[in-house]
């Protein structure tokens, strides 16, 4: 994290939101109130215009640098570090309606027994309760909103969202190659998700509020003697 990228006038807002996220990461685990880190990303869909060269022992795949663009697949991820479980859903578009639909999936399908879900997400303008009301009738939007506690990472602080670590692993282990259709991307992502969930692979977060006050001391407002 580069301290210089945070405008000085935003220091107090930054540390307030950062400490809120870090407090959530340190609270005891309770299945009634799961902590879920949510994020979204995109993957360019491409197809080879020439067939790759046949594989040979000791050689990596050799593909022509020229490819055909076939649109973009959007990926939503919901990651629960306490259980080492995640869901990755591929959509054709990204916007308020898609985010709201994914939140509904989190509430109704992934955590139907939860009383309140703490959802850590970044400050993308679609990541707001207003997206629910823009997508669903008011009674349904209200029902979903009552099951959520949104905790936003600060601007320039999306690294605080553990979902970004999961997306990094997904990119290294699965999506760092060409996919010629949304269906192809969905199959491979589903296989990656299943394997990682079966192993209950999680993130061992070690950065605490006390650490922040030492390592990021320059971001905290100072007061007179």
What percent of the chain has pLDDT above 90? Answer: 69
DSSP 150: E
Mean pLDDT of the chain: 88
Residues contacting residue 144 through CB under 8 Å, at least 6 positions apart: 100, 103, 104, 107, 132, 136
Sheet holding 35-48: strands in order across? 85-91, 67-80, 35-48, 117-121, 148-152
What is the model's pLDDT at position 222? 83
Report whether 122 contacts 40 (CB < 8 A): no
Q: What is the mean pLDDT of residues 169-179?
A: 88
Residues contacting residue 2 through CB under 8 Å, at least 6 positions apart: none
The class that CATH gives domain 10-43+69-213 is alpha beta
What is the model's pLDDT at position 97? 96
Confidence of residue 4 (pLDDT cuts 50, 70, 90): very low
Q: What is the mean pLDDT of residues 11-34?
A: 94
Confidence of residue 1 (pLDDT cuts 50, 70, 90): very low
Q: What is the mean pLDDT of residues 168-182?
A: 88
Write the CA distances from 103 to 76, 141, 211, integer angstroms: 10, 10, 32
Confidence of residue 126 (pLDDT cuts 50, 70, 90): very high
Q: What is the mean pLDDT of residues 60-72?
A: 63
CA atoms within 13 A on the CB side of 53: 9
Q: What is the mean pLDDT of residues 69-77?
A: 83
- The residue extents of the domains of the chain are 10-43+69-213
Q: How far apart are CA 130 and CA 118, in angstroms?
A: 17
Q: Please say if the pLDDT value at position 56 is more than 90.
A: no
The reported pTM is 0.85
Short-list 49, 141, 135, 139, CA closest to 95: 135
Report whether 120 contacts 37 (CB < 8 A): yes
Q: Which residue has the tokens 């970004």?
A: 164
Short-list 86, 196, 106, CA closest to 147: 106
Confidence of residue 103 (pLDDT cuts 50, 70, 90): very high
């Amino acid at each position: 994290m580069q301290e210089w990228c945070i405008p000085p006038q935003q220091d107090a807002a930054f540390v307030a939101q950062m400490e809120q996220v870090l407090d959530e990461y340190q609270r005891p685990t309770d299945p009634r109130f799961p902590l879920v880190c949510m994020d979204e990303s995109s993957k360019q869909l491409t197809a080879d215009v020439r067939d790759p060269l046949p594989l040979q022992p000791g050689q990596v795949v050799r593909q022509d640098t020229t490819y055909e663009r076939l649109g973009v697949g959007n990926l939503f991820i919901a990651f629960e570090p306490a259980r080492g479980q995640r869901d990755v859903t591929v959509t054709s578009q990204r916007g308020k309606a898609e985010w709201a639909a994914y939140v509904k999936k989190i509430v109704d399908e992934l955590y139907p027994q939860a009383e309140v879900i703490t959802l850590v997400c970044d400050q993308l303008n679609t990541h707001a309760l207003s997206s629910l009301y823009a997508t669903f009738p008011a009674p349904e939007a209200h029902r979903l909103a009552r099951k959520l506690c949104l905790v936003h990472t600060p601007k320039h602080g999306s690294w605080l969202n553990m979902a970004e670590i999961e997306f990094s692993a997904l990119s290294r282990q699965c999506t760092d190659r060409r996919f010629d259709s949304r269906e192809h991307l969905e199959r491979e992502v589903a296989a990656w998700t299943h394997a990682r969930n079966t192993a209950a692979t999680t993130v061992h977060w070690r950065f605490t509020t006390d650490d922040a006050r030492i390592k990021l001391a320059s971001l905290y407002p100072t007061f007179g003697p």
